[in-house]
């Protein structure tokens, strides 16, 4: 069994307060994908030093000069990837620290922190370009015959099941028609929502804007594992650990059966 965990941690410095290490000890994932680490690479390595005897660490941080404590993704894996990349190819997002692709024998893993699009129209435009470039990269990877796992914080809810009914009439970026059009690009390519394989109903969320909203079960499902069709039969479970942490994002764990 191969376990992969994905979690927007909203700053690595808060991990100990969110039960991160307890969860690792219990679940023992083979791969850990973190988003929004909010530190440079040296600091990320220091904060995760206790794991590096068991895991190989790759990380990329924001290099924007106009803002600090922003973005960043990290992937820890028991098996060192044969190749990594931090760009979709256009270089437009290279300073953003949002992309980390790791090639393993059985699949290529995309660990991505998608833009929110909430600040102003230029950021919504940036989000749309990110989706377009990510989809093009995945299309090319699939065309090469390789399997794909795409995970992370997508900052978009795919359909009405993924936003609490109490919030639907007042949602903005993240559930706009263009957002839903963009996330659909991955499904047009044939990717499969691992969580929806066994959970068709509404009411499952991975992000809450406050602890109060979490208590009221007013959330969004915006953290996903999408897999290529060749991996569908290997999906064992995909679980939201929504009791971990007090608010914000919760971790999601995908379990894949080992190939025969």
Residue labelled with tokens 């699949």: 107
**Are 148 and 251 in contact, with CB atoms under 8 Å apart?**
no
The b-or-e profile of 105-130 (16+ CB within 10 A means b, else e) is ebbbbbbbbbbbbeeeeeebebbbeb
Residue 193 structure tokens? 């929502």
Q: Is 152 helix (H, G, I), strand (E, B) or coil?
A: strand
- In angstroms, the CA 143 to CA 146 distance is 7
Which of 58, 153, 242, 248 is labelled catalytic?
A: 153
**Are 220 and 174 in contact, with CB atoms under 8 Å apart?**
yes
**Pairing between strand 56-60 and 73-77?**
antiparallel
Question: Long-range contact list for 164-172, CB < 8 A, 24+ apart?
Answer: 164/203, 164/205, 164/217, 164/218, 164/219, 164/220, 165/202, 166/216, 166/218, 167/218, 167/220, 172/118
CA–CA distances in Å: residue 237 to residues 6, 21, 87: 14, 21, 30
- In angstroms, the CA 192 to CA 114 distance is 18
Q: Determine whether 153 is an active site residue.
A: yes
For residue 137, report the phi and psi dihedrals to the nearest 5 degrees: -60, -45
**Are 100 and 57 in contact, with CB atoms under 8 Å apart?**
no
Q: Which residues are catalytic?
A: 153
């Amino acid at each position: 069994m191969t376990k992969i965990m994905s979690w927007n941690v909203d700053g690595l410095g808060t991990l100990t307060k969110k039960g991160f290490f307890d969860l690792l000890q219990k679940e023992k994932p083979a791969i850990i994908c973190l988003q929004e680490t909010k530190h440079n690479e040296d600091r990320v390595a220091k904060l995760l030093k206790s794991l590096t005897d068991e895991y190989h660490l790759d990380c990329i941080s924001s290099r924007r000069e106009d803002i600090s404590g922003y973005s960043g993704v990290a992937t820890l894996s028991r098996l060192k990837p044969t190749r990594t990349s931090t760009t979709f190819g256009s270089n437009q997002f290279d300073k953003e620290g949002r992309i980390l692709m790791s090639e393993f024998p059985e699949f290529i893993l995309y660990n991505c922190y998608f833009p929110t699009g909430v600040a102003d129209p230029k950021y919504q435009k940036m989000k749309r370009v990110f989706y377009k470039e990510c989809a093009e990269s995945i299309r090319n990877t699939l065309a090469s015959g390789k399997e794909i796992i795409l995970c992370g914080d997508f900052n978009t809810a795919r359909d009405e099941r993924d936003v609490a009914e109490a919030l639907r009439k007042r949602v903005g970026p993240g559930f706009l028609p263009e957002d839903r059009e963009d996330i659909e690009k991955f499904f047009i390519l044939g990717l499969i929502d691992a969580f929806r394989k066994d959970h068709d109903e509404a009411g499952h969320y991975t992000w809450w804007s406050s602890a109060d909203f979490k208590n009221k079960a007013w959330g969004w499902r915006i953290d996903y594992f999408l897999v290529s069709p060749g991996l569908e039969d290997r999906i064992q479970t995909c679980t939201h650990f929504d009791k971990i942490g007090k608010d914000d994002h919760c971790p999601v764990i995908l379990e894949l059966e080992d190939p025969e």
